[in-house]
Structure 1
Amino acid sequence: MIGIDITSIARIEKMMDKFERKALERFLSEDEILLVRSPSTAAGFWAAKEATSKALGCGIGKTCGFHDIIISKTKKNAPKIKLSKKVMKKFDIKAISVSITHDGGFAASVVHIEKN
């Protein structure tokens, strides 16, 4: 299953300017917030979480919320995604991979999910 999303960096930056830390807490955990160095990083994380929910075929909502999708980084700074145990079990997930990019004022992400 594949999901893709594109997000305006300016939209996320405006949200961060208006709501400060609360904007990030809406869709990121404390550990994820520590990884955010700029609005483009936050926009990339938003796009990755949206792309993940699209790959699952459910969107962000009751079945899979923003906080059920956990983003981290490898030692080489590449993004990684984990899902909550609830989501892993519900969708019978074997593996998940993610790519995030930023260019021209946008952040985009593609997520591939392999089921058991």
Structure 2
Amino acid sequence: MTLRCGIDLVEIRRLEHLDPQIRQRFLHRVFTPQELDDAQEDLMVLAGRFAAKEAVAKALGCGIGPISWQEIEVQRGPEGQPLLRLHGRAAERAAALNLCEWSISITHTRDLAMAMAVALGPSGSPSDLPGA
């Protein structure tokens, strides 16, 4: 089996203190319309999803840049659990790394949001990856 993981921690106040002139542009660059609709401007939820996106990018071994924020989407499952959907280059990179099963977990305090991403796949050598 191939096993990859990533973790990230975000100070929620970073989102609280965004310059109002760039706030909406930032939110629409980082989060999908569905994520924004689910969060209803709850900064704790947004910070948790931000941390989850970072954790997934780390598990993919590339960070944000080779893949975009919106190519990693955190949805809400039927019981409120976070579910991961990969799109575009993020999905391509996961496939190239033989990663087919993902689990993400998000937790919060009043000040911090943390997320962990774990990915599994069959063993085998991943194909040549750009930026790897």
Q: Same fold (TM over 0.5)?
A: yes
Name the CA distance, whole Å, in 2 between partners of 1:82 and 1:76.
17
CA-to-aligned-CA distance 1:11-55 (integer Å, 9 cap, x gap) = 012127453322211200111110113111110010000000001
State which of 42, 47, 54 in structure 2 corresponds to 1:43.
47
| Matching of residues 14-53 of structure 1 within 5 Å | 14-15=17-18, 17-37=20-40, 38-53=42-57
| Matching of residues 77-96 of structure 1 within 5 Å | 77-92=80-95, 93-96=99-102
Which blocks of at least 5 consecutive residues in structure 2 are unaligned?
123-132
Q: Secondary structure at the match of 2:17?
A: helix
2:76 aligned residue: 73
Q: Which moved more, 1:91-100 or 1:13-22?
A: 13-22
TM-score by length of 2: 0.79
Q: Are 1:58 and 2:77 matched, yes or no?
A: no
Name the CA distance, whole Å, in 2 between partners of 1:13 and 1:48.
18
Q: Hey, which bits of structure 1, 4+ residues long, moved more than 6 A?
A: none
Q: Which moved more, 1:14-23 or 1:95-104?
A: 14-23
Checking the alignment, whether the CA contact within 8 Å between 1:91 and 1:115 is kept in structure 2 is no
Name the CA distance, whole Å, in 2 between partners of 1:16 and 1:29.
20
